[in-house]
Structure 1
Amino acid sequence: MTTFSELGVDQDIVDALAAKGIVDAFPIQEQTIPLGLPGQDIIGQAKTGTGKTFGFGIPVVQRLGLDPAPGVKALIVVPTRELAVQVYEDMDMLTSNRSTSVVAIYGGKAYEGQIDQLKAGAQIVVGTPGRLIDLAGQRLLDLSHAAEVVLDEADKMLDLGFLPDIEKIFAKLPAVRHTMLYSATMPGPIVALARRFMSNPIHIRATDPDEGLTQANIKHLVYRAHSLDKDEIIARILQAEGRGKTVVFTRTKRAAQKLVDELNDRGFNAGAVHGDMSQEARERSMAAFKAGKKDVLIATDVAARGIDVDDVTHVINHTIPDDEKTYLHRAGRTGRAGKTGIAVTFVDWEDLHKWALINRALEFGQPDPVETYSSSPHLFGDLGIPEGTKGRIAKARTTETAPAQRPQRATEVAAEGDAVGTTRRRRRRRRASDRVGETFLAEADATVGATTAGAERPASGDAAQEGAGTHDGGGREHHDGKPAPARRRRRRGGGGGAAPVAAP
């Protein structure tokens, strides 16, 4: 392995990388950094997860110098918000020992903070096309001095229809600049874009052309599963031996939210990233996944490229991807940085033709997915799921931690408070009814006492029963075996709280 120092990287950048445990360079970095440092235009082609962010990030930071003047000197264009956040974090880390400032410009967040950072003199801008054009159109973003330009995930920009926006952005850049373009694939429009906006670029392919097809470090499992059984199968896969962080892909936003709710209900710690969530919620969910607070992430394809986490062990395709490119992008979330991974794909009966096309394009040799249910023995064997595993772990997690040792959550405290309040209200209602009953009996006793000549009222209820008699089942009181005079019943519509009146 080659170290970054051997590639000619400045010591302060080497120290920043070493602080994160990054010492040796990946193949794409070994080939691009020595060319990027002197200013050679580069077309870098490599699958995701091979370290290409540092491949262009290190030359950009080093070429700007230790103390660049305020103002935008470098522009990095990315297709999605999640990728903008990821690249921003990497660039911010590379500049941690320099005065260089980095700002992320993307939609879904307030303008004010981004504008303030630009006005403060940020030198490196990482942004998505839409927000970049918006701020440039308002003359809040000046790109006329951006001599370092990077297009990351260019093929994804093509898929999302951003090429016209890219042309608008290049029109605002200086004619003389250092340009680097990175892409996992090189379709015709991307090649045409490179020829138009780059100067004698060198095309670097960091890996063997067939590696993207064979995916030797990823185990691919394809199952024909019933839609009603998928949640149970996923829940059992999540309990497989050695299972680490897991990404589950769904086709729609609604399916993603439904699945995350289902998995959380089953006792798993899952989060989601999809288009119906606010940008802040998506960033919180992604941050929790990266930090390990959540070990399952449910995502749609829009968010896929922003999931740059090296320790993802499993990728599960809840619904089959539309084509082989999408499949590779999804599966590329695991098996990163030289590690191994597992990709599981569910194929519905009506999607068998779609899988046939993907299988043929990627040369998997699995034209007929195995019919699989949550109880199928081969499922347990393929994924190392312990025998007897069920799809719900909520009870197990509850018994693992004693209630006295586990801190109460806010929702639990609120629930207990509601229960206590309900009990107190019930007690108050009981006491109120008791007081009404006692008042009624006291008034009845007083009435009876008034009609009994020479009778002395006992001091307590028990004494009253001993000396004066007992109450019968109808509420009348007997004295010396003689029934008391009948009392009138109160009229319901009348005097409400009036005391009973003795019969004359």
Structure 2
Amino acid sequence: MTLPVALSGSDVIGQAKTGTGKTLGFGLPLLDRVTVPADVEAGRAAPEKLTDAPQALIVVPTRELCQQVTNDLLTAGKARNVRVLAIYGGRAYEPQVEALKKGVDVVVGTPGRLLDLAGQRKLDLSHIRVLVLDEADEMLDLGFLPDVERIITMLPPKRQTMLFSATMPGAVISLARRYMSQPTHINATSPDDEGTTVKNTAQFVYRAHSMDKPEMVSRILQAEGRGLAMIFCRTKRTAADIAEQLEKRGFASGAVHGDLGQGAREQALRAFRNGKVDVLVCTDVAARGIDVEGVTHVINYQSPEDEKTYLHRIGRTGRAGAKGTAITLVDWDDIPRWQLINKVLDLKFPDPPETYSTSPHLYEELGIPAGTKGVLPRAERTRAGLRAEEIEDLGETGGRGRRSAPSAPAPREERAPRTPRQRRRTRGGSSLDESAVAVPAPADGATGEDAPETRTPRRRRRTRAAAPEAVAEAAVTVVETPAAEPAPAPVAEAEPAAEAEPAAEAKPRRRRTRPAATKPAVAQTPAAEPVVDFQTVAVAAQAAEPVATKPRRRTRVVKPADEVDFQIAPASEPAPQTKARRTRAAAKPKAEAVAAPATAEDAAETKPRRRRPRAAAEKTVTAAVTLTSDGEAAPAKPRRRRSRAAAAAETTEG
């Protein structure tokens, strides 16, 4: 019915059931409209009509369907030597670009890669005479519609447009008329075939539990007369899981879903066509247009989304007049969805019977032998399996999901035995030999006979409690160390305590500044050294050194690295500005010590401000020095914060 209308050059909307030959329905008129060198030689066309640019374009929704349509057109156009090229994603760009440069007559592609090459000006669409949208309802869906519209804008306005699909809703037909000129709608049906499904396909619907479905599928696959089988799942993860479970049960299974790389998808489909794999678990990417000879069973592991998906799924069997079996397993949650599908398609399964893997009616209706279990017997495992089909390196872009692609193990070549890598033990980032050289001999006189023969034992430092004299000398050494020098020596390796007394006599003015000076020393002490109690150090140092006289306190003050020296300044010079916060506590006792000769009246005039204690402390030092030099006196007035400062001074002296 389609061939006369399409050969005349009119626009066509073709609708027919699955498996009735729609590919050749648009393929033969399309091949006839293409001009090839054989037509020029036979005198059927003028030489100026020859071109290397594509003359016909077929847009399909999936990569698998793109490859199948390409193979069918190559077979049909072999006598006229028509050049057909498949353009789809997942493959390298370079081979496709090179083929376009050599010249192509018909291009079959998916929307994404077609737009990529057309945007790069590698694909010239200005000579297209025929446009075909295969599976038109899917191509004009909301997902593909923007891309299809962009492709149509690149085509010449004067062309022939044909749409073909098994399902053609009214909304799609009204949308398609925007891009067509007076189309002819052809709906091919058979007189003795009622309904929307194929009469040769026997349909069974069961209500099954999700945890029992793998066992049910395993027993259904052992039914009598089963050939190739396709199992459809709703999600990619479910498809991968079912394929793995069936493989463990002994079935030769493969998977086709979106998470696999293109090479793995083609490998599984090629092994299914060649018979190496007899069970193909897939998502809806393989539900449209896939034509494999010998498919006897189609199992809907999960309920389809709508009636169109159901028709395309079960249409993979019962093709070209053959008989097939379609089995649908509906979960309890999917009963409302299935009832809608049943009503639209006018089926006879509104309430599917509750069925389990041990139900007797399951064995009777599907022809499963009695006593069949969920594991395929070893005697029946005759298929080569998916790994027997070599995976093709397509130069895939992106590499999405390559890890999940099962591939055949590569043959091992004879190689020289590999020398195992020698591991060298390291200690502290250095090798064993270096550590043996760097570690000195033990101090307790141990000889090499006590150590193992293979390596030198590591020296362990003993951390005993140090003597009070050594601790006192270590404290003095820490105070005298400048900031620029390295960290002081460990306490455990201090020199004899006899040298501590001369050092203490040389620096008698350390009792007041030791608590402030010990803080940086603690920060510089290595973590491996024992912690020193500085109160004990102070007591030991006080017992070891003589008591310094009071007049010498004004003439000599030990200044640590982080402290500021507070000395008596002349009356005309202000006190130095102190910025470090840690010097406040030390500044208060020094200021009070300098201002001690002044009377109570002088202290009243220099009362510090509440909110600026640092500036007040500096002002107190300056005022006290000036009054002391001049010898003046002021009326007595109690000081506000004197008790707190006195308490701080007593704490520091203690």
TM-score normalised per structure 2:
0.56
Of 198, 204, 221, 1:221 maps to: 204
Aligned-residue offset at 1:327: 1.0
Aligned-residue offset at 1:78: 0.8
In structure 2, the CA distance between the partners of 1:64 and 1:380, relative to structure 1 (3 Å rule), is: same
Q: Which runs of 5+ in 2 are unaligned?
A: 38-49, 384-406, 418-448, 456-654
In structure 2, the CA distance between the partners of 1:493 and 1:385, relative to structure 1 (3 Å rule), is: farther
Match of 1:257 in 2: 240
Are residue 64 (structure 1) and residue 64 (structure 2) matched? no
Match of 1:373 in 2: 356
Of 276, 284, 294, 2:267 maps to: 284
Question: Secondary structure of 2:288's partner?
Answer: helix
What letter is aligned with 1:279?
Q
Give 1:52-451 correspondences, 5 Å limit: 52-67=22-37, 68-159=50-141, 161-207=143-189, 211-397=194-380
CA contact (8 A) 1:43 1:204 kept: yes
What letter is aligned with 2:159?
R
In structure 2, the CA distance between the partners of 1:137 and 1:388, relative to structure 1 (3 Å rule), is: same
CA distance in 1, matches of 2:345, 2:331: 19
What whole-Å deviation, never above 9, does each CA across 1:358-412 have from its counterpart, x for those lacking one?
12122222222111111111111111111111111253347x89xxxxxxx9879
In structure 2, the CA distance between the partners of 1:411 and 1:45, relative to structure 1 (3 Å rule), is: closer
CA contact (8 A) 2:287 2:309 kept: no
In structure 2, the CA distance between the partners of 1:255 and 1:494, relative to structure 1 (3 Å rule), is: same
Aligned-residue offset at 1:216: 1.9
Moved more, 154-163 or 39-48: 154-163
Aligned-residue offset at 1:213: 2.9
Aligned-residue offset at 1:133: 1.3
What letter is aligned with 1:153?
E
CA contact (8 A) 1:359 1:365 kept: yes
CA contact (8 A) 2:17 2:197 kept: no
Aligned-residue offset at 1:92: 1.2
Match of 1:12 in 2: none
CA distance in 2, matches of 1:192, 1:163: 14
What letter is aligned with 2:126?
S
In structure 2, the CA distance between the partners of 1:411 and 1:202, relative to structure 1 (3 Å rule), is: closer
CA distance in 1, matches of 2:341, 2:213: 21
What letter is aligned with 1:272?
A
CA distance in 2, matches of 1:154, 1:88: 17
In structure 2, the CA distance between the partners of 1:119 and 1:394, relative to structure 1 (3 Å rule), is: farther
Aligned-residue offset at 1:188: 3.7
CA distance in 1, matches of 2:146, 2:411: 54
Question: Secondary structure of 1:342's partner?
Answer: strand
CA distance in 1, matches of 2:109, 2:19: 20
CA contact (8 A) 1:49 1:310 kept: no
CA contact (8 A) 2:204 2:326 kept: yes
Question: Secondary structure of 1:48's partner?
Answer: coil
Aligned-residue offset at 1:220: 1.0
Match of 1:437 in 2: none
Of 17, 26, 31, 1:47 maps to: 17
CA distance in 2, matches of 1:212, 1:157: 25
What letter is aligned with 1:159?
D
What whole-Å deviation, never above 9, does each CA across 1:391-439 have from its counterpart, x for those lacking one?
11253347x89xxxxxxx987999xx9xxx9xxxxxxxxxxxxxxxxxx
What letter is aligned with 2:275?
G
What whole-Å deviation, never above 9, does each CA across 1:447-498 have from its counterpart, x for those lacking one?
xxxxxxxxxxxxxxxxxxxxxxxxxxxxxxxxxxxxxxxxxxxx9974579x
What letter is aligned with 2:57?
L
What letter is aligned with 1:363?
D
CA distance in 2, matches of 1:238, 1:319: 16
In structure 2, the CA distance between the partners of 1:493 and 1:259, relative to structure 1 (3 Å rule), is: farther
In structure 2, the CA distance between the partners of 1:43 and 1:411, relative to structure 1 (3 Å rule), is: closer
Question: Secondary structure of 2:196's partner?
Answer: helix
What letter is aligned with 1:235?
S
Match of 2:581 in 1: none
RMSD between aligned residues: 2.7
What letter is aligned with 2:18?
T
Match of 2:648 in 1: none
Aligned-residue offset at 1:127: 0.7
What letter is aligned with 1:59?
P
CA distance in 2, matches of 1:44, 1:36: 10
CA distance in 2, matches of 1:496, 1:152: 78
CA contact (8 A) 2:17 2:196 kept: no
CA distance in 2, matches of 1:329, 1:139: 36
Moved more, 102-111 or 67-76: 67-76
What letter is aligned with 1:163?
L
What whole-Å deviation, never above 9, does each CA across 1:261-289 have from its counterpart, x for those lacking one?
11111111111100010011111111111
The structure with higher relative contact order (CA 8 Å, sep 6+) is 1
Aligned-residue offset at 1:306: 4.5
CA distance in 1, matches of 2:341, 2:176: 28
Q: Which runs of 5+ in 1 are unaligned?
A: 1-30, 402-408, 422-490, 498-504
What whole-Å deviation, never above 9, does each CA across 1:85-122 have from its counterpart, x for those lacking one?
11111111112222321111111111111111111101
CA distance in 2, matches of 1:492, 1:360: 93
Radius of gyration: which is bigger?
2
Match of 2:4 in 1: 34
CA contact (8 A) 1:310 1:337 kept: no
What letter is aligned with 1:277?
L
What whole-Å deviation, never above 9, does each CA across 1:304-338 have from its counterpart, x for those lacking one?
21522242111101111111111111111111111
Aligned-residue offset at 1:34: 2.1
CA distance in 2, matches of 1:373, 1:188: 40
Question: Secondary structure of 1:180's partner?
Answer: strand
Moved more, 191-200 or 105-114: 191-200
In structure 2, the CA distance between the partners of 1:493 and 1:168, relative to structure 1 (3 Å rule), is: same
In structure 2, the CA distance between the partners of 1:276 and 1:389, relative to structure 1 (3 Å rule), is: same
